[in-house]
């Protein structure tokens, strides 16, 4: 039997009324967020990202479909039962939403106060939570006395007070400078790892998802057009999510690399002048995982690297037109764009050898079909 997911939505639909017209914000979203993951929600402005997490959190009522959190169907609940379940979902907001007249500790203790935890225990638990987010010495500070990053840490501690199984973050780092945002994201990652907390991140910052998330969903016009782990999406560069995560390689990115990497039988170097009879094609390669490092290493440092070995074994010549290396979803990803020359059979053989070497060879995707994120 498979484990109950942290979140499951089925046919989730949300229609707002505005000025006498219907606005379909979610149009039948089926989504599964496994437990313990950091899960990104991507999409252009208006795609339905905020509506999705506001509906999952019960801040908005679904028009149709269902939302389950930890196996409990929120969309069936009303009144006290709904409030009780909603407490198990923590929420972190872009503008922190702290009460300015309360100290950090009193803000963190608020959800405990609502459920009637006594004063002494509230104080102790708030202090422990503030320590967890690195603010043990700021319990008596008021929000106005804290920096943006500190305020967001208080917001996170407050979201954790009711010991939620899921933390929803709506642009939690968008109002922070880059360095502060990075430290808040590191805190979220740490909480995910230490507490096994499932975190859903809504953000217009693609870099945040690339760095932080294990998996993501791409929303477009209220529909989930693609979802999955980032490593899988990166290995499927023509998939909608893959295209968002790995925008097209610029052809002219590294002419210098092309010269350095061109091997002995490089394009244009055919001594017998037979190149004109050969076909030529562009090929994008993606290598995900530990092998990625070798792919972009200088040739002499990676003599028996499988991708180069596959190219050497095939009867083709090639130039490396671009090479990009970056972590995606915590895994190294290397991408190369090759100009390949040889007979049709030789090029087909090279594509097979490259596929067998785990390099996911694909025709380059034209820039015009890229999916903007924000």
Residue 63 and residue 17 in contact, taking contact as beta carbons nearer than 8 Å = no
Least Å distance, CB 17 to ligand ATP, is 7
Q: Which sign, positive or negative, has the C-alpha torsion 187, 213, 302, 260?
A: negative
Contact flag: residue 50 with ligand ATP (CB under 6 A):
yes
- Pick from 27, 33, 39, 48 the residue near ligand ATP by CB under 6 A: 48
Place of tokens 């028009």: 63
Within 8 A by CB and 6+ apart from 359, the residues are: 285, 286, 287, 295, 306, 307, 310, 336
Indicate the helix (H) or strand (E) that contains 191. helix 178-195
Within 8 A by CB and 6+ apart from 198, the residues are: 6, 7, 33, 34, 35, 36, 37, 38, 39, 165, 166, 167, 192
Contact flag: residue 204 with ligand ATP (CB under 6 A):
yes
Strands (E), the chain: 7-18, 21-33, 38-43, 64-69, 72-73, 89-93, 166-170, 198-202, 215-220, 223-229, 279-288, 317-328, 331-342
Q: Which is nearer to ligand ATP, 125 or 210 (CB)?
A: 210
Piece of the chain touching ligand ATP by CB under 6 A; list 42-50, 142-150, 236-244, 252-260: 42-50
Specify which residues 326 forms β-bridges with. 333
* CA end-to-end distance (rounded Å), the chain: 39
Contact flag: residue 104 with ligand ATP (CB under 6 A):
no
Q: Which is nearer to ligand ATP, 61 or 119 (CB)?
A: 61
Q: Count Cβ atoms below 10 Å from residue 109 Cβ, excluding itself.
A: 26
Least Å distance, CB 43 to ligand ATP, is 5
Q: Which is nearer to ligand ATP, 18 or 120 (CB)?
A: 18
Q: How many CA atoms lie within 13 A of 127 on its CB side?
A: 8
Question: Within 264-293, which residues bind ligand ATP (CB under 6 A)?
Answer: none
**Tokens standing for residue 92:** 């972190």
Contact flag: residue 71 with ligand ATP (CB under 6 A):
no
Contact flag: residue 67 with ligand ATP (CB under 6 A):
no
Contact flag: residue 16 with ligand ATP (CB under 6 A):
yes
Q: Which is nearer to ligand ATP, 21 or 276 (CB)?
A: 21
Contact flag: residue 18 with ligand ATP (CB under 6 A):
yes
Question: Within 109-148, which residues bind ligand ATP (CB under 6 A)?
Answer: none
Contact flag: residue 243 with ligand ATP (CB under 6 A):
no
Place of tokens 């509906």: 55
- Pick from 9, 37, 51, 127 the residue near ligand ATP by CB under 6 A: 51
Specify which residues 92 forms β-bridges with. 169
Q: Which is nearer to ligand ATP, 226 or 278 (CB)?
A: 226
Least Å distance, CB 204 to ligand ATP, is 5
Least Å distance, CB 344 to ligand ATP, is 45
Specify which residues 16 forms β-bridges with. 23
Size of the site for ligand ATP (CB under 6 A): 13
Piece of the chain touching ligand ATP by CB under 6 A; list 46-54, 102-110, 158-166, 183-191: 46-54
Least Å distance, CB 244 to ligand ATP, is 14
Within 8 A by CB and 6+ apart from 260, the residues are: 298, 299
DSSP letter at 175?
T
Contact flag: residue 43 with ligand ATP (CB under 6 A):
yes
Residue 30 main-chain phi, psi, to 5 deg: -105, 120
Q: Which is nearer to ligand ATP, 26 or 296 (CB)?
A: 26
- Pick from 31, 39, 40, 49 the residue near ligand ATP by CB under 6 A: 49
Contact flag: residue 46 with ligand ATP (CB under 6 A):
yes
- Pick from 4, 22, 23, 140 the residue near ligand ATP by CB under 6 A: 23
Site for ligand ATP, rule CB under 6 A: 16, 18, 23, 25, 43, 45-51, 204
């Amino acid at each position: 039997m498979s484990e109950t997911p942290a979140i499951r939505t089925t046919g989730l639909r949300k229609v707002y009324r505005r000025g006498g017209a219907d606005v379909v914000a979610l149009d039948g979203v089926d989504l599964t967020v496994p437990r313990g993951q950091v899960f990104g929600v991507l999409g252009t402005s208006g795609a339905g990202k905020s509506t999705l997490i506001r509906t999952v959190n019960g801040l908005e009522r679904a028009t149709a479909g269902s939302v389950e959190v930890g196996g409990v169907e929120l969309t069936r609940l009303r009144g006290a039962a709904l409030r009780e379940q909603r407490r198990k979902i923590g929420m972190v907001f872009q503008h922190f939403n702290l009460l300015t007249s309360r100290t950090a500790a009193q803000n963190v203790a608020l959800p405990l106060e609502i459920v009637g935890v006594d004063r002494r225990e509230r104080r102790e638990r708030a202090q422990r939570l503030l320590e967890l987010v690195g603010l043990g010495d700021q319990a008596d500070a008021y929000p106005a006395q804290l920096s943006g990053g500190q305020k967001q840490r208080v917001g996170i501690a407050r979201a954790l007070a009711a010991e939620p199984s899921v933390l929803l973050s709506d642009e939690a780092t968008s109002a922070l400078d880059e360095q502060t945002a990075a430290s808040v994201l590191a805190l979220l990652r740490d909480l995910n790892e230490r507490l096994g907390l499932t975190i859903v991140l809504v953000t217009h910052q693609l870099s945040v998802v690339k760095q932080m998330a294990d998996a993501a969903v791409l929303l477009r016009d209220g529909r989930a057009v693609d979802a999955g782990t980032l490593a899988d999406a990166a290995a499927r560069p023509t998939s909608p999510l893959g295209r968002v995560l790995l925008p097209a390689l610029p052809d002219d990115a590294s002419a210098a690399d092309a010269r350095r990497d061109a091997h002995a039988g490089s394009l244009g170097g055919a001594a017998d002048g037979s190149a004109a009879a050969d076909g030529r094609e562009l090929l994008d390669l993606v290598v995900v995982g530990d092998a990625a490092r070798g792919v972009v290493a200088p040739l002499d440092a990676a003599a028996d690297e499988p991708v180069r070995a596959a190219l050497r074994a095939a009867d083709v010549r090639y130039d490396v037109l671009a090479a990009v290396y970056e972590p995606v979803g915590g895994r190294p990803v290397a991408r190369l764009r090759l100009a390949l020359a040889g007979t049709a059979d030789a090029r087909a053989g090279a594509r097979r050898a490259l596929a067998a070497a785990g390099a996911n060879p694909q025709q380059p995707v034209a820039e015009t079909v890229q999916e903007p994120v924000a």
